[in-house]
Each structure stands twice: as C-alpha cells, then as structure tokens.
Amino acid sequence: MITSKRMRILEINSEAFGVPTLLLMENAGRSVKDEILKELKDIKDKTVCIFAGHGGKGGDGLVAARHLASEGAKVNVLLLGENKHKDAISNLLAVQNLDYTIYLKAIKDVEELSPLECDILIDAMLGTGFSGKPREPFRTAINVFNRSKGFKVSIDVPSGIDSDTGEAPGEYVIPDIIVTFHELKQGLSKFNNVKVYKIGIPIEAEIYVGPGDVLMNIKKRDMKSKKGAGGRVLVIGGSYTFSGAPALSGLAALRTGADLVYVASPDKTSFTIASYSPDLIAIKLSGDNINPANFEELKPWIDRVNSVVIGPGMGLNPETKEASKLIVNYLKETNKPSVIDADALKSISGYELYPNAVITPHAGEFKIFFNEEPKTDNKERIQQVIEKAKQAKCVVLLKGYFDIISDGVQFKLNKSGNPGMTVGGTGDTLTGIIATLLAQKLTPLDSASIGAFINGLAGSLAYQKYGNHIVPTDLINEIPNVINDPLENFKKRVYDKVLY
C-alpha cells in the first residue's frame, strides 16, 4: 500500500527521470477506459457522464473522456471549476477540440446540477490530495453523482474519501468500482471493489532518491515560526591540525536551513573556526585535541540541540579516540539524532549503534568500521549495505559513484553527484546537510538519502560552473538552489550528463 505523499514523490521523481507526468496521466485515463470495457464489454453508443474537478484527477477524467469517445461512447463532461493543473490543462485543450464526440459543460452554479441517467458515470472530482469535508461545488456534485443512475466509477479514490485514512467526515462518492493507480492507496484497504493499474512509474523513481523526496519532505516555514524552528545542530570536530572540516559541516548545516549551529572544537582551533564565519557559534573545548575531559563540557550542548555531528577533522590521537567512544555512548544512551563520520567512525569500529544514528563511510571507512571491503558488484554491494545497517542497528550511507543508503530494511540509491566531488571536504558538507534534516525531524533514512541527493546535486551545479576545479564552499553556496528548485536543477544536471 502507498500513501498520498509517497505517490506524489514517485510522480515527481518520474518526471525527473524522463517519464513525464503528462504520460502518467495519459496511462491513468486509458486504464479507466480499459477497466470499463472489461466490466461492460461494449460501450458503443453508451452515454458517459464525467464529473471533472480541478486537479490531476480531473485531468485523468478528461483523458478517459477521449479514450471512451474513441470507443464510440457518447461522452458528456461537467467541469466543476477552473483546472490549473498543467497536465490537466493540456488535456482540456485536447478535449475542447473534440467537440463532435465530447460535450463539455462548465458548471458555474450548483443549481445547474441535477441527477442524471447515464450508462456510465465517472467520478473525477477530488483526488489523493483531498482531506476534510468537501466544499461547494463538490458537496452538491457528490450528492448528485450518488443520486444519478448508471454504472459508477471512481478514479483513484472516491471523492470525499481521505486516501490515507479511508475516512469521510462529509459527503463521499459511493461507486461500483474504483480504478486506482500504481499501488493500492492506504485508505482503500477496506474497499473490496478496487482495481489497481500500473501507469508507467519506473522502479527507479522508487529506489533512487530524487527531487520529489526533497519537495515533499522539506517544507516552507510557517509565518509564525520562532527561532530554533529550523533546528539546532552541534558539530563536534577539529583538532590541533584540522579546522576546516567541522567548519564546512557547520556552514552546510546553516545553508540547509538550521537556525543555530554550534561547532565545538579544541581551544585554539575554535578561534580559527570562529574567524571563518560569524554565522557559526564556536564552542571552545580545553586542550589541543578533543579528549575525555571534554565529555562533561559537551554534555549540556548535546542535550540542548536537535542533532549532533561528530568526527570531521577530529584526528586519531589516542585521547581523541577515547573521547569519541564516550561521546557516541552518550548519544546512544540519549537516543540523540546524530551523524557519525570520519575519524569518530574510525574510532568506534565494530560498534553496535542505534536507529537514530547515521554513519557516512566512504569505501575505506566502511572497511575499517565493518572489517569488510565493499563489494564491487553493484547488487551485491546494495545487499551488503542492507545487511551491515541491520547489523549496526543504524542507517548506513556508503558513499561512492552512486551512494547506497539503508536502515537495514529499506534501501535508497543516489546518483546526483559528479567526478569533481572527489575533492576533500564534500563529505563534511554532507554530514552538515544530514544533521539539519535530522534536526528538522525527518527520519534518519530520509535525512541520509535526501542529504546525499542535495549534496550531490549542489556539487553538480558547482561542477557546471567550475568543472574539476570546485571546492567545498562552492557546493555549500549551491545548497539553497537545490532545495528551492530540485526538479529543474536535476533536469539540467541530467541534460549536461547526456551531453558530456
């Protein structure tokens, strides 16, 4: 079964991967015709009355109108309001030209609606995005539809039914059959008259993370949002030698939408990090490297944030490795959403973690943590990541030519990156992006997979400008562009990939 949100993600991803939603709508409308023919055998000279709403479902009804007319049916379409859905508009323009076989009537007042006698009645009014009680003109239209005589068909879900819950707090259509698409909608599990048709959504739209995942999971903030609504992130990293890595994680977290980002690093290192940007809040820890004495200093900061990054630039000094273990144990104890990467990951090799943790190894770190080389065969590699995520009880994101992400049950793939991202620091930006998504309460699997997509596509936008000369800060600057318009930017990236 599938939720309305997941279905919308798949539709957008299909568009991104080259299967346009206009084609999906065409397949959906034709499926309605096919099911009607299956039920009634011959529809030549039969009268068809379609109640069409102003969304994608209305567009499905218009496609069905064309196909039914081509079978010799006498088709009447009642338009219940102006349809602004881009694919529905295309189909409306087509139907308007078919005025010999299809009669269109725009309903401007509910008083124009009255019970009909048709051979076939099609409900194309309210779709999977609907919830609550139907408003006019649909409230009246649903009542009229139910009182009309004829074989009744609902497209996707009966109008007035919540596709996720199956509830209907107001008026709803009572059909003879329901023709739904791709998978059974969650709210239709109680119905026994449902027919499911595949409409051409590719398997890749499901297994590859894409623009739909971004658009449907990262929401615009409410006007009444308060400071902190975008999440608070703590980055623990840096050492006497390295200061850039934790700063890159912090800056990427901010560009992803975190409201507050704290970077905790050794005393002298923190001064350097503070000089990079006034946007980062530098926390000064005692010592030249992160050490066990810092644990008590860090606990209050861990407790006050929504997510934690640990590892960038920490180094592998023995006292730092011991501190990593103490901190990770506390993260596990408190079930804190976290991203464990780089040197911290190496310090805790073989650990059993917890479901709110995400680890982001490249091939070398994967071998260190799991004591096993990543498989070279792609399908074996995917299965290996699933098994290792189950073993470690956390989300594993294995970085590579294509990223593999799993929580031990499900898996996702990502291929939004480019060869220029072999430059140092792009893994640090990834951890910051994932941490912000965790802080905004996305699931660890969604945070990791969407984070990989955003990071890769931001890198690809930078690659378009600079080729093999990108630096991590170029990528950070592109993060907002990816989040604001992932679909169009992904299409550009795919086009460039074909060209080169």
Q: Does 446 show up as a binding residue in the annotation?
A: no
Q: How far is CA 300 from the centre of its chain?
A: 33
133: annotated binding-site residue? yes
Q: Annotated binding residue at 123? A: yes
Q: Is 313 annotated as a binding residue?
A: yes
Instruction: Enumerate residues 6+ apart whose C-beta is below 8 A from 319.
Output: 287, 289, 290, 291, 292
Pairing of strands 411-414, 403-406: antiparallel
Residue 429 marked in a binding site: no
Backbone angles phi, psi at 256, to 5 degrees: -75, -20
Bin 311: left if φ > 0, else alpha if -120 < ψ < 50, else beta: left
Q: Any known ligand binding at 128?
A: yes
Q: Tell whether residue 245 is among the known ligand binding residues.
A: yes
What is the dihedral sign for C-alpha 68, 70, 74, 77? positive
Tell whether 129 is in a known binding site: yes
C-alpha separations of 244 from 70, 160, 221, 314, 413 in Å: 65, 55, 30, 11, 28
| AA identity, residue 248 | L
Q: What is the CA radius of gyration of the chain?
A: 27
**346 among annotated binding-site residues:** no
Would you say 403 is a known binding-site residue?
no
Tokens of residue 51, six digits: 């109640």
SS3 393: coil
Q: Known binder of ligand: residue 159? A: yes
Are 16 and 44 in contact by the 8 Å Cβ rule? The answer is no
Q: Alpha-carbon torsion 367, 372, 377, 383, what sign? A: negative
Task: Indicate the annotated binding residues for (6S)-NADPHX.
Answer: 127-133, 156, 245, 313, 362, 428
Task: Indicate the annotated binding residues.
Answer: 123, 127-133, 156, 159, 245, 313, 362, 427-428
Task: Indicate the annotated binding residues for AMP.
Answer: 427
